[in-house]
Amino acid sequence: MEIKLASHEHSMGYHCLDDETDDKWCEKCTAKICGAAYACVRCELWLHELCAKAIQYLPREITHPLHSHHHLMLDWSGPAAPFTCDLCLKISSGTNYRCCRCPFEFDLVCAFASSDDHVASKKRQRSNADRKQTMRHYCHIHPLVLYKYSNEGEHDYNCRWCDKPLTGIFYGCKSCGFFLHEFCSDKIPKTLNHPFHPSHPLRLDFVDATCNACTQRISMSKAFSTAAYGCQICNFNLDFGCAKLLPTLKHEGHNHCLTYVGPTFRDPVLKYHFQCSSCRELCLDTFYRCVQCDLNLHLKCVPVPPLAKHRYHRHPLLLNQPIREDEVGEYYCDICEKERDPTHEVYYCQKCTYIAHIECVLNQVRPVLHKHPLKFCEVTENLGERVCKACRLELSGPGYICKGCRYILHENCAKLPDEIQHPLHPQHHLNLYATSLDRDICDNCRDFYSGFIYLCEQCGFKLDLKCATRAPSESGRTTLKESERETELFHFTHKHKLLFCNFTDPVAETRCNLCQLQIFGPAYHCTRCGWVLHESCLRLPQEMQVPFHSQHTLTLSYTRYGGCHACALKLLPSGYHKRYNYGCKDCGVNYHIACAISLTRPLKLDSHMHHLYYFGTDFDRFFAMYRDFINIYAQLFCSHCGEICSGQSFYRCLECFINFHVECVSLPQIIKSKCHIHPLTLKDSYIEDDSEEHYCDACEERRHPNHHVYYCEECPGIFVAHIDCALSKEEEVVSFLVPREMKKRIPRERKKRMSLTRGI
């Protein structure tokens, strides 16, 4: 008896498991399976019978009219953690549909409801006739009761979101002192891109943690009744009030902008716990704070001068206590023309009632790029790694250097503007961030970066320096190959959607989760859990057959222990994620991925009784990684000359467990083959063009561009063939076979003749 899930590509067979002997766990509820179950043995997917039937008809991917710019993916794995439906705003748990590109979730009821139903529901909620007397809001744990403004006490409270006095219709929880304007209840975002933590978005949730801004325990405030914004990856949290703080003052002695902390900052007693980082006295009044560095400064220690001059105003400006201009309740800065907090100190002109934010008057200095002084001088080799910290490109010639910590900047990178307006993001300014953030993807070119960036602090839009300093037409150009590439896809090794990106940093190292080799160039990455694959590894088949093990199919899966049957080296240790290898489930033999690929093309020569298998560039890179990180004593030697095989391609006999350099196999240098009219010459590699697709003209199958081939020199680029394909149709040997005593001399002579050959 079988069942077919709409969200899984294979049918699942029925099983009945014994609790004592079988050790299987349900992928949906994560509980151990005892009794009836369904399983896809091919993918090692097990589900309770009830869990399988509960999701049987749910499609893997849907498009919803209220979130039409991204697909929504079915998420039923793991424990039933509570979440907030982004449509009905109800707290739900269990199976849901979520967007893999942005933090957006639907429960099943909302996912399959029509858009007309939701529009009608929204209109009914807004009408006075149908206005609810109580509401459940996702930011507060208690029900919020409908109130109408009166002069009997409610006016003593401000709206917890906009901090303005309560007027008209509002909702609130009197026991917690939590109130929201009716029009503010829909404005509270569930995810927040905050400048205090620009590396990841913060999600609104009920957490038991410490607020990084005010250092107070969130669960201790108001009986844990109001949600907070947090990043689970970094354990960074902001309570509901502190999430509205913003860094505004650029200080010449500090990397980050400073945040003004006014008299309404959290608990009035709490501010006494902060100590000025300059004078070491307690901050008993207003002060500036850097949340990222836990740095606090009195206004006099910043310093904020009592008298200042600004280019937009002809009179001197005095530092003044908070000013309320009138009773209208709207207060604005005369420099930036944005609303200001009437409880904050300001700069004030007594002659013409000119009022401005402190930061608007003082923000005329450049941000510091490095904590130590930088000296302009010539960069020498004894500095070691000469990579600019801003653009991540190698530096030659003069630059700005901190010799104490080997911090290097190009001359142009040291003079970057601290703020730009870019055509790719015209709605907001982008600010220069010189401090190291977690590696992320540029929103334009999809490159991973770890250098300086330009960041929009309002919506999290990011540009690396390459895209920020180029014209949009320049930075947006793509080749035909790039335009045809899929930007997002699923792979059978991972349950989340993978997004296309580029790894171009010459220093930062990232390894593929399949082959474990370093990635440099195009790849596919999971933004949710960091899973990353080479673009070429996506083409690895889930199942394959090789001539050496033709009786059974080899399956790509992760193996817990054992050794490789091809190279005789151990499989990767447990520290390398899931250790994917090719293995035969019937015989129990396993192969490294690089070794399994080497077994696809056997070569039979008269000089040896068994088939020989070509181990080329991929195995050489894998073997180098194996020796560096796993076993420095691992070596492979040529059975003909006795020299080490690592660092170059070689042939291996899997029955005799012996190796031969390509030169020691005595392959004919020139042959006449039936597959082509002209003689073919042996080359150590041949790259036809930049298409990244290379084929054998004899068998019309893919070939590796850095592997040995037979090549026609009379019609360049027209005919290239695998060695085994060319030799299988060989008519006669035109050149002599390589004798043993000439083995070391031939590579040097060959390099002079191979003008079309490109190195690895």
Secondary structure in 3-state letters for 266-296: CCCCHHHHCECCCCCCECCCCEEEECCCCEE
3-state helix, strand, coil in the chain (%, to 5): 15, 30, 60
Confidence of residue 125 (pLDDT cuts 50, 70, 90): very low
Return the pLDDT at 152.
Answer: 42
Pairing of strands 375-378, 488-491: unpaired
Tell me the two tokens of residue 658.
């012996």
Length of the chain: 760
Indicate whether 609 pLDDT > 70: yes
Summarize pLDDT for 196-224 with one digit per residue, the tens: 888 888 998 888 888 888 888 886 454 46
Average pLDDT value for the chain: 78
Of 590, 519, 517, nearest to 558 by C-alpha is 590
Looking at the DSSP assignment, which residues form a beta bridge with residue 91? 84
Mean of the pLDDT values across residues 157-184? Answer: 82
Q: How many helices (H) and strands (E) does the chain have?
A: 11, 52
Range in 242-246, 361-365, 709-713 the model is least confident about? 361-365
Distance CA 745, CA 1 (A): 67
Indicate whether 168 pLDDT > 50: yes
Mean of the pLDDT values across residues 236-255? Answer: 82
255 against 707, higher pLDDT: 707
Return the pLDDT at 760.
Answer: 27
Helix (H, G, I), strand (E, B) or coil at 3: strand
Question: Where are the extended beta strands (E) located within 483-579?
Answer: 488-491, 494-503, 521-525, 532-534, 543-544, 554-558
733 against 466, higher pLDDT: 466
Indicate whether 629 pLDDT > 70: no
Mean of the pLDDT values across residues 497-510? Answer: 79
Bond before 303 cis per omega within 30 degrees? yes
Return the pLDDT at 124.
Answer: 44
What lies within 8 Å, CB to CB, of 265 at 6+ separation is 214, 271
Highest-confidence range of 57-61, 98-102, 361-365, 742-746, by mean pLDDT?
Answer: 57-61
Return the pLDDT at 737.
Answer: 34
Of 594, 515, 589, nearest to 552 by C-alpha is 589
Return the pLDDT at 732.
Answer: 43
Highest-confidence range of 461-465, 480-484, 753-757, by mean pLDDT?
Answer: 461-465
Mean of the pLDDT values across residues 279-293? Answer: 84
Indicate whether 589 pLDDT > 80: yes
